[in-house]
Amino acid sequence: MRPSAYDALIIGGGPGGSTAATFLARAGRRVLVLEKERFPRFHIGESLLPYNRVIFEELGVLATLQAQGLITKTGAQFHLGNGSKSLYLVFRNGRYTREPEAFQVERSTFDHVLLKHAAVSGAEVREGWTVSRFTADDTGVTIEARSDTGEQQTFRGAFLIDASGRGNLTGNQERIREIHPKLKKLAVFGHFADVRLDEGEKAGDTVIIRLENKWFWIIPLSAEKTSVGCVMDQEEYAQAGETPTEIFTRLWQSSQTLRERMRNARLLGAMHTTSDFSYRNRTYVGKRLLRVGDAAGFMDPIFSAGVYLACYSARMAARIVDESLRNGTDGNVALLRYDRRIQRAMRTYWEMVEGFYTTPFMEVFMSPRHKLSIPAAVTAVLGGELEGGWKIRWRMRLFFWLVKLQRHFPLLPRISFCPTMNRRTAEIGEPAMPLVGDDVRSL
């Protein structure tokens, strides 16, 4: 290998790329990050999970993030759009959850903080550089890139970490990207002022409102700004033939729960749309190559796990690259370990996402029964606990087994997405069920 080669080349300076770069640079490795945009830039993905804080602490960036005065998220709320049922999930109360709170972030600033931190930690960061191709051989990897000023250059490194997000550079080049056949979704979203939030600690919660075949998120970003978005079928959007603002407004107006929160909302800036975000690559590794975060795969933002999975996979990728360099190997065996572990981590959330779009899953999820601490295991996973061991895994299997049973036998009260149903109707139908309220916060 040529002497000027890097230990690791990283494509993309989002949370995945910055995390891998910082860990490697702090381990004394020579790292180059190529990011096609110039930061700060807009990005969607604003609600983080509690376990992300552990990684921020290990990166040495937690104090810097805390100094930004970010909104603290201590829980997540799930409501049916007709107001008939709600669930408050509080991370602090999950018996298996070690992390009680997370941040809500504006990604333009947040991603910039992480990328600057990677540079301060010793990584070479070049913004405005787009990677177009890679080739790998027995001794390393070569990438071709072009700067936004027209300069063309090739770079050589011992390992390549693809953190190109949905750009999915290496997966696209190898044609191994698979789109989820059932989750052909589209998101319409924007930033708003004057959205009604809850009082006190719950003011920082992520609020999810589930309508039939679609859902809304409400994520408070600051005292003046709240992110609100809707995820729906691409087909429904295309058939409606409306502008993003028209369809978005019509949908929130159809829901009692959303009307209560959006009545006085004012759009700040433009509405955005994005689609085709549920996919994965068949493998997350290749010769001297590791894919992290969205460059490995992503499936629907419902449980806000994207940034966490990007940081989680990037931390492990950095460890494997460092270990392989130390041992002087091509990392082959360790790369397979990475593939297995990250596939398993991502599957955990994907199974929840696939369930979320089915009614039996919603019926079990929205009616937590505390027997056997199944809700506590679900809370831990939704907080980002991926290494909690068997005590969580068997409870999650039992949870999905209950969902299967619910499909055929109504163990738990049926739910309805009918827009005219109100909470009172549901209470009459379900006298033994605690509906909304602080008693359910102990999930």
Ligand X SMILES: Cc1cc2nc3c(=O)[nH]c(=O)nc-3n(C[C@H](O)[C@H](O)[C@H](O)COP(=O)(O)OP(=O)(O)OC[C@H]3O[C@@H](n4cnc5c(N)ncnc54)[C@H](O)[C@@H]3O)c2cc1C
Q: Would you tell me which residues interact with ligand X (CB under 6 A)? A: 11-17, 34-37, 43-48, 130-131, 163-167, 169, 187, 229, 274, 277, 293-295, 298, 301, 304-308, 310
Rounded Cα gap, residues 169 and 178, in angstroms: 14
Q: Which is nearer to ligand X, 41 or 423 (by Cβ)?
A: 41
Q: Which is nearer to ligand X, 76 or 412 (by Cβ)?
A: 76
Q: Which is nearer to ligand X, 2 or 38 (by Cβ)?
A: 38
DSSP string, 354-386: HHHTSHHHHHHHTS---GGGHHHHHHHHHHT--
Rounded Cα gap, residues 208 and 75, in angstroms: 11
Long-range contacts of 88-93 (CB under 8 A, 24+ apart): 88/202, 88/205, 88/436, 88/437, 88/438, 88/440, 88/441, 88/443, 89/379, 89/382, 89/441, 89/443, 90/379, 90/441, 90/442, 90/443, 91/50, 91/379, 91/383, 93/379, 93/441, 93/442, 93/443
Rounded Cα gap, residues 75 and 302, in angstroms: 14
Rounded Cα gap, residues 123 and 203, in angstroms: 37
Rounded Cα gap, residues 373 and 394, in angstroms: 11
Residue 120 CB, shortest distance to ligand X, in Å, is 18
Q: Which is nearer to ligand X, 45 or 360 (by Cβ)?
A: 45
Residue 6 sits at φ, ψ, to 5 deg, of -90, 160
Residue 404 CB, shortest distance to ligand X, in Å, is 28
Residue 128 CB, shortest distance to ligand X, in Å, is 9
Q: Which is nearer to ligand X, 349 or 361 (by Cβ)?
A: 349
Q: Which is nearer to ligand X, 23 or 363 (by Cβ)?
A: 23
* Preceding peptide of 244 cis, ω within 30°: no
Residue 433 CB, shortest distance to ligand X, in Å, is 29
Residue 116 CB, shortest distance to ligand X, in Å, is 14
Rounded Cα gap, residues 48 and 310, in angstroms: 11
Residue 301 CB, shortest distance to ligand X, in Å, is 3
**C-beta of residue 82 within 8 angstroms of C-beta of residue 416:** yes
Q: Which is nearer to ligand X, 126 or 287 (by Cβ)?
A: 126
Residue 36 CB, shortest distance to ligand X, in Å, is 4
Rounded Cα gap, residues 226 and 266, in angstroms: 10
DSSP string, 110-122: HHHHHHHHHHHTT
Q: Which is nearer to ligand X, 316 or 403 (by Cβ)?
A: 316
Residue 252 CB, shortest distance to ligand X, in Å, is 16
SS3 category, 179: strand
Residue 426 CB, shortest distance to ligand X, in Å, is 28
Q: Which is nearer to ligand X, 219 or 421 (by Cβ)?
A: 219
